[in-house]
Amino acid sequence: MKTTTRVAVIGGGVVGCSVLYHLTKLGWSDVMLIERSDLTSGSTWHAAGGFHTLNGDTNMAALQGYTIKLYRELEEITGMSCGLHHVGGVTLADNKDRFDMLVAERAKHRYMGLETEIVGPEEIAKLAPIVNLDGIKGALYDPLDGHLDPSGTTHAYAKAARMGGATIETHCKVIETNQRPNGTWDVVTEKGTIHAEHIVNAGGLWAREVGAMAGVYLPLHPMEHQYLVTDDLPEIYERGEEHPHVMDPAGESYLRQEGRGLCIGFYEQPCRPWAVKCTPWEFGHELLPDDFDKIEESIAFAYKRFPVLERAGVKTVIHGPFTFAPDGNPLVGPVPGMRNYWSACGVMAGFSQGGGVGLMLAQWMIEGECERDVSAMDVARFGKWITPGYTLPKVIENYQRRFSVSYPNEELPAARPHRTTPMYDIFDSMGAVWGAQFGLEVVNYFAQGDEPRYETPSFRRSNAWEATAREVRAVREGVGINETHNFGKFRVTGPNARAWLDRIMAGRIPAPGRLSLTPMLSPKGRLLGDFTVSCLAEGDFRLTASYGAQAQHLRWFEMNAADGAQVENTSDSLTGFQIAGPKAREVLAACTLSDVTDIRFLDARKMVVGQVDCIVQRVSYTGDLGYEIFCNPMDQRQLWETLWAAGQPHGMKPFGMRAMMSLRLDRFFGSWMREFSPDYTPAETGMDRFIAWKKNVDFIGRAAAEAERATPPARTLMTFEVDADDADVVAYEPVFIGGEVKGYCTSGGYSHHAGKSIAYALVPRDAASPDLEVEIEILGSRRKARAISTPMFDPEGERLRG
């Protein structure tokens, strides 16, 4: 057996084999896969082998498209068959919301180049004649849907990897992973020890146990899952062509032809987690006992939707476990806090996603970054707050919701509240309607009187409309208050702090007492963050950015660490409030003995507010006169008492995230993971105006940014006013120019201050003009939209800076 390797991939399921293949494809041949038993011995061998592109996250959908197209390539390279059946598939909708969701997905596919189609009942009858069309409104048809042979495909990946120089060691269980001081790994197996520079955990059903060998907790959990194969059915075998896949979200089932019969699987509500404490090592090539009780209701529903099933005998039952992360997406990438330890697990749809996971991980390892934003599957999207106690109910929720409609404004209830600040009960008593962000409870808005304490999930304007309008008005006309707990926050200290920040951030690092806005770039010039940097004193800097990206940001800081600059994640050890609106200065003045009249826009200083030591920053995402006031969480209630009491004479009102996201539109402020993300560059999004071109520092991404400056990118971000009706832009709606799809929206919403529906969109630079008129498809209807370039509130910045 080989005893040294550049990469040791642990696990020979479809995901491990795909990672191995992609490493060789991208140029690393000294790579090795170690499998406890035979290849496919985890979930892989008993999968139904279905694949499809549909995924609520656009990048995940694109990677699913990549995976499906890859199979032909694998067949050509290896001469092996993946057993491909490209039969197409229909996803049914039997109510308006489901249909809305499919229409919204189809709209995204337009600019992604996916040839999906919305079809009506008549076409469904032709495509999938065994469907009982009672109550069916329509369906999404995807010609790329199909199925394959799970084992053949996994072996094709393995052969292609071997052809690229990889080694595969089967019947070789990894029993320990020990890190050497230089960051490399001793992978201890039953057959001896392998010295590897990098480890990839592709342990599938055992990924938790493999992670624990290195002290890593990976938030995933196995669930039991069952599908049935019927006896031969004349309605199927007498057809001249193979029956397409049918996904029936209402019945929580997927169905396809298997031989001369059918195969149907269920995501049943009375689902069961498997191996709750740990996956037994002795679990082999085996299945779980049949369990018809838990799918009884699902089968009854399926009989109605597919009456042919009632006459069908059951030939085979496949009941096996596979793993899910709390949100159902894979866990991929460098594990935070570890060196040279990579995750490729939690892949619940290995045959739709395995290729994309392999490609992204290989790019990340070899090139240092992925070609697209992979936040939706980044293992760092969960922070240190995640525990098995949280993961389990979330995974159950995710399984149960596998086929549910996903609404843009939806808040999922399982495992909540998980983390709260000292303000939780105070805001709760004031009518807070809560959302969750990165495990933390965040107020979306405040209900009043007999307004429901629950926002109706919807693709259209929701019942939060009135409350949001009220809160926007309170800020613009008087003063509003909300928490600053959901910012990612870091403290950077030490003699080298400024030099380090100058290298990490592309923008200007401020002088003491000031703050600045700056993008953080990857070496290829993509946006990794949009930060506010404040300098309290030389050698003492504070950073704020996205709360949800804090683990990704910390991982990046640690990868680029330098002597003399200490970085501390203070996201949860610093909290506080934002006060914003024309009366904000008067409120602050009433709370402190310090003079506040000389606090200029973009000043940052330490101050005592009431009786609490605070950091006060004169900046506000509302685009209004405002202050962010940070304090220790132990002092937060005291600070609240002070600010709230001082605010009452000025009509202070609390506001939530819904109002905040409306207010930001007024001054065209972008938002992380909407306008700004690793999918985009500074010049595409206007973030280039914050790059400090004159600073004499080779900051990360400089060469790429300079190149982009010399040759501007093909697209640019613009703001549009949309003739919307009862639904506003959310994200990824296609933009038509001259009748053709030429761009897409990054986000949007309703500006309650201006009374306008607003969209931000990336459009071709050569089409961008101040009077550009476009059409934007919202829920299947093309809405006229006009470019706007003057902020709708405070265009001269008088209030902001005054």
Ligand X SMILES: Cc1cc2nc3c(=O)[nH]c(=O)nc-3n(C[C@H](O)[C@H](O)[C@H](O)COP(=O)(O)OP(=O)(O)OC[C@H]3O[C@@H](n4cnc5c(N)ncnc54)[C@H](O)[C@@H]3O)c2cc1C
Contacts with ligand X, residue ranges (CB under 6 A): 10-16, 34-37, 41-44, 46-51, 173-174, 202-206, 210, 225, 227, 318, 320-322, 345, 347-352
Q: How far is the CB of 52 from ligand X (least distance, A)?
A: 8
Question: Could you give the CA distance from residue 406 to residue 410 in angstroms, rounded to a whole number?
Answer: 7
Contact 744, 777 (CB under 8 A): no
Question: For ligand X, which is the closer residue by CB, 264 or 515?
Answer: 264
Residues making up the chain, counted from first to last: 802
Q: How far is the CB of 209 from ligand X (least distance, A)?
A: 7
Question: For ligand X, which is the closer residue by CB, 161 or 665?
Answer: 161
Q: How far is the CB of 263 from ligand X (least distance, A)?
A: 9
Q: How far is the CB of 313 from ligand X (least distance, A)?
A: 20
Question: For ligand X, which is the closer residue by CB, 86 or 173?
Answer: 173
Contact 92, 139 (CB under 8 A): yes
Give the pairing type, strands 740-751 and 734-737.
Answer: antiparallel
What SS3 class is residue 134? coil
Residues 6+ apart with CB under 8 A from 489: 542, 543, 544, 550, 569, 570, 571, 574, 630
Question: For ligand X, which is the closer residue by CB, 12 or 791?
Answer: 12
Q: Report H helices in 619-668.
A: 636-647, 657-666
Q: How far is the CB of 205 from ligand X (least distance, A)?
A: 4
Question: For ligand X, which is the closer residue by CB, 177 or 571?
Answer: 177
- Tell me the chain's radius of gyration from C-alpha atoms: 27
Neighbouring CB atoms inside 10 A of 115's CB total 12
Question: For ligand X, which is the closer residue by CB, 318 or 443?
Answer: 318
Q: How far is the CB of 439 from ligand X (least distance, A)?
A: 25
DSSP 104-125: HHHHHHHHHT---EEE-HHHHH
Question: For ligand X, which is the closer residue by CB, 209 or 723?
Answer: 209
Q: How far is the CB of 380 from ligand X (least distance, A)?
A: 19
Q: How far is the CB of 203 from ligand X (least distance, A)?
A: 4
Task: Pull the structure tokens for residue 650.
Answer: 């000025």
Closest CA to 570 of 544, 552, 609, 537: 544
Contact 562, 631 (CB under 8 A): no
Closest CA to 639 of 664, 612, 679, 661: 612
Question: Could you give the CA distance from residue 485 to residue 557 in angstroms, rounded to a whole number?
Answer: 21
Question: For ligand X, which is the closer residue by CB, 354 or 576?
Answer: 354
Closest CA to 491 of 553, 431, 399: 553
723-759 burial, b at 16+ Cβ within 10 Å, e below that, comes to ebeebbbbbbbbbbbeeebbbbbbbbbbbbbbebbbb
Q: How far is the CB of 366 from ligand X (least distance, A)?
A: 20
- Report residue 226 CA to chain centroid gap: 28
> Angle 350-367/150-163 helices, nearest 10 degrees?
20
Q: How far is the CB of 27 from ligand X (least distance, A)?
A: 23
Q: How far is the CB of 669 from ligand X (least distance, A)?
A: 39
Question: For ligand X, which is the closer residue by CB, 206 or 531?
Answer: 206
Question: For ligand X, which is the closer residue by CB, 352 or 534?
Answer: 352
Q: How far is the CB of 84 from ligand X (least distance, A)?
A: 13
Question: For ligand X, which is the closer residue by CB, 205 or 705?
Answer: 205
Q: How far is the CB of 63 from ligand X (least distance, A)?
A: 13
Neighbouring CB atoms inside 10 A of 494's CB total 17
Contact 659, 751 (CB under 8 A): no
Task: Pull the structure tokens for residue 513.
Answer: 């007492």
Question: For ligand X, which is the closer residue by CB, 88 or 350?
Answer: 350
What SS3 class is residue 545? strand
Question: For ligand X, which is the closer residue by CB, 11 or 488?
Answer: 11
Closest CA to 468 of 436, 445, 443: 445
Q: How far is CA 553 from CA 336, 341, 441, 548, in A?
A: 10, 17, 21, 10
Q: How far is the CB of 630 from ligand X (least distance, A)?
A: 42
Question: For ligand X, which is the closer residue by CB, 34 or 264?
Answer: 34
Q: How far is the CB of 494 from ligand X (least distance, A)?
A: 41
**Helix (H) or strand (E) run with residue 367 in it:** helix 350-367
Q: How far is the CB of 21 from ligand X (least distance, A)?
A: 13
Phi-psi region at 271: left, alpha or beta (left = phi > 0; alpha = psi -120 to 50): beta
Question: For ligand X, which is the closer residue by CB, 358 or 791?
Answer: 358
Question: For ligand X, which is the closer residue by CB, 14 or 194?
Answer: 14
Contact 433, 455 (CB under 8 A): yes
Question: Could you give the CA distance from residue 410 to residue 417 in angstroms, rounded to a whole number?
Answer: 15
Question: Could you give the CA distance from residue 512 to residue 498 in angstroms, rounded to a whole number?
Answer: 11
Question: For ligand X, which is the closer residue by CB, 53 or 662?
Answer: 53
Contact 174, 188 (CB under 8 A): yes
Question: Could you give the CA distance from residue 504 to residue 613 in angstroms, rounded to a whole number?
Answer: 29
Measured at the CA of 556, the angle between CA 563 and CA 177, to 5 degrees, comes to 90
Give the pairing type, strands 575-580 and 480-483.
Answer: antiparallel
What SS3 class is residue 539? coil
Q: How far is the CB of 548 from ligand X (least distance, A)?
A: 25
Amino acid code (one letter) for 497: A
Q: How far is the CB of 367 from ligand X (least distance, A)?
A: 23
Question: For ligand X, which is the closer residue by CB, 48 or 619?
Answer: 48
Question: Could you give the CA distance from residue 324 to residue 221 in angstroms, rounded to a whole number?
Answer: 5
Measured at the CA of 691, the angle between CA 688 and CA 697, to 5 degrees, comes to 145
